[in-house]
Amino acid sequence: MAGDYPERPWATFPPHVISEIHRAADQGLYYIRGAGARRALPTFDDLVFLGASVSRYPLEGYRERCDTNVTIGARHASRPVELKIPITIAGMSFGALSANAKRALGLGASAMGTSTTTGDGGMTMEEREASETLVYQVLPSRYGMDPDHLRIADAIEVVVGQGAKPGGGGMLLGQKVTERVADMRTLPAGIDQRSACRHPDWTGPDDLAIKILELREITNWEKPVYVKVGATRTQYDVALAVKAGADAVVVDGMQGGTAATQEVFIEDVGIPTLPAVRLAVEALKELGVHRQVQLIVSGGIRTGSDVAKALALGADAVSIGMAALMALNCNAPLYLEDYEALGTRPGACNMCQTGRCPVGVTTQDPLLEARLDPEEAGRRVRNYLSTLTMECQTLARACGKSHVHNLEPEDLAALTVEAAAMAQVPLAGTNWIPGRS
């Protein structure tokens, strides 16, 4: 009679856990992969907008203005960044991304009047030329760090951490470290390149304040200085970044994408974007600098409603990584046999670490890269950003707002107790905010 028993799902050892144990036993090393957390998390999907009705009146969808512009960095910088939309492209390194992908992101962002960002590995002239507004990252590795690039950037982002790996350093596996990438990073080609998790010349908020001062001195106090943190102890980190003199704080939730990180980091370190936004806003309000020090939120932003909800909770702008890569065709159903060769399929791929990206986004292989036409892909990025913007405006108008920044927590209700607790908005149909009332 064996085999006639109904099979019970094995909660402790689901198939992915079993196969990871087998993989670990074979390879003796953690699993390194790209993209963000795959586990289910409380997200913006757990919030809904309370559109206007009798008690509030909406704006006419196609007639009345709903502005989307945002100024970043007016706190200390003499040349703040002016963006037409509150949606920016997150820092992704040349090396992780192909040069064509970087160029396409620059073209798409520029067409929409928004910014793009360099990454670990330095600035390429292709991305500088393609990007009207370019944010230059200062990372712990300092790969390719160049004061001339600081001076030709429009803003500076000191990266303390990323949502995918708060407290962790970076890695770029040898198959992606081509001659050009290696040369930019002053490393031998083909090695597995590690990036440090701490900056080489500062630790802690008091040092950071002096580091920011130095960056400002080198760039004549012109450029806004952002500080980027992975979401963990967000309230403290944001407060300390403000104290250190940041013009803007970037908070990256645990869903945030990566090019290559240990899976335990991606899935098990950090807090989701949803509570992180609220904590960051609380910290800014407590210091009296909300809207004066801009809050840029990232990690799992996919739709115009995600954007609108982040803004309603108090963010000034959002930043997108994986979704922008998807606009470039990441995970699109093309070149199926190449996904198969990686042991994956469109819709399930997170193989950026291999350098064999089937659609030419995260690769340094010239043949694969040629699959991504920067002009065409740039238009796709523009279209995608344009859609997000229109969706966000539609929701804002429905809530009666003439600027997307006028959205507020009062416009939201939560569908789950978890989301209500994390976002501190009432559970739908109640006045109940867990922990408050």
Partner 1 sequence: MTVETIDLDAAGVRALNRRLQGREGPVAGRHFIVTNAKGRHALAAGLTERVNVRIRGHVGYYCAGMNRLADVTVEGNAGTGVAENLMSGAVRVTGDASQSAGASGRGGLLVVEGSASARCGITMKGIDIVVGGSIGHMSAFMAQAGRLVVCGDAGAYLGDSIYEAEIFVRGRVESLGADCVEKELSAEDASGLEALLAEAGMDGDAARFRRYGSARQLYNFRIDNAAAY
Q: Which of residues 267-296 bind ligand SF4 (CB under 6 A)?
A: none
351 binds, among partner 1, ligand FMN, ligand SF4, none (CB under 5 to 8 A by kind): ligand SF4
404 interacts with ligand FMN by CB under 6 A: no
378 interacts with ligand FMN by CB under 6 A: no
DSSP secondary structure, 278-304, as one string: HHHHHHHHHTT-BTTBEEEEESS--SH
Query: To which H or E segment does residue 33 belong?
Result: strand 32-33
CA 130 from centroid of its chain's CA atoms:
20
352 interacts with ligand FMN by CB under 6 A: yes
Q: Which of 127, 252, 306, 316 binds ligand FMN (CB under 6 A)?
A: 252
Q: Which residue in this structure is represented by tokens 């960051």?
A: 280
In the chain, the amino acid numbered 423 is A
| Min dist. Cβ of residue 242 to partner 1 (A) | 19
For residue 141, give the nearest of 167, 184, 170, 163 by alpha carbon.
170
The nearer residue to ligand FMN, 363 or 424, going by C-beta atoms, is 363
Give Cβ neighbours of residue 437 (< 8 Å, ≥ 6 apart): 431
Stretch that binds ligand FMN, among 171-179, 201-209, 299-307, 414-422 (CB under 6 A): 299-307
Residues 170/195, Cβ–Cβ less than 8 Å: yes
Q: Of how many residues is the chain composed?
A: 437
392 binds, among partner 1, ligand SF4, ligand FMN, none (CB under 5 to 8 A by kind): none
| Degrees to nearest 5, angle at CA 225 with 381 and 423 | 70
> Rounded to whole angstroms, how far apart are CA atoms 164 and 34?
10
Phi/psi for 338 (5° steps) reads -75, -35
Q: Which of 52, 187, 197, 326 binds partner 1 (CB under 8 A)?
A: 187
The nearer residue to ligand SF4, 34 or 168, going by C-beta atoms, is 34
First to last CA, the chain: 56
147 interacts with partner 1 by CB under 8 A: yes
Residues 274/255, Cβ–Cβ less than 8 Å: no
* Residue 191 CA neighbour count, 13 Å, CB half: 10
> Rounded to whole angstroms, how far apart are CA atoms 360 and 376?
13
Q: Which of residues 299-358 bind ligand SF4 (CB under 6 A)?
A: 325, 330-331, 349-352, 357-358
75 interacts with partner 1 by CB under 8 A: no
| Min dist. Cβ of residue 93 to ligand FMN (A) | 4
What is the contact surface with ligand FMN in residues (CB under 6 A)? 36, 90-93, 96-97, 119-120, 137, 159, 162-163, 228, 252, 255-259, 298-301, 320-323, 352, 362
User: Which residues of the shown chain bind ligand SF4 in the complex (CB under 6 A)?
Assistant: 34-35, 325, 330-331, 349-352, 357-359, 361-362
Interface residue list for partner 1 (CB under 8 A): 27-29, 141-142, 145-147, 150, 173-174, 185-188, 190-192, 194, 196, 200-202, 207, 210-211, 213-214, 217-221
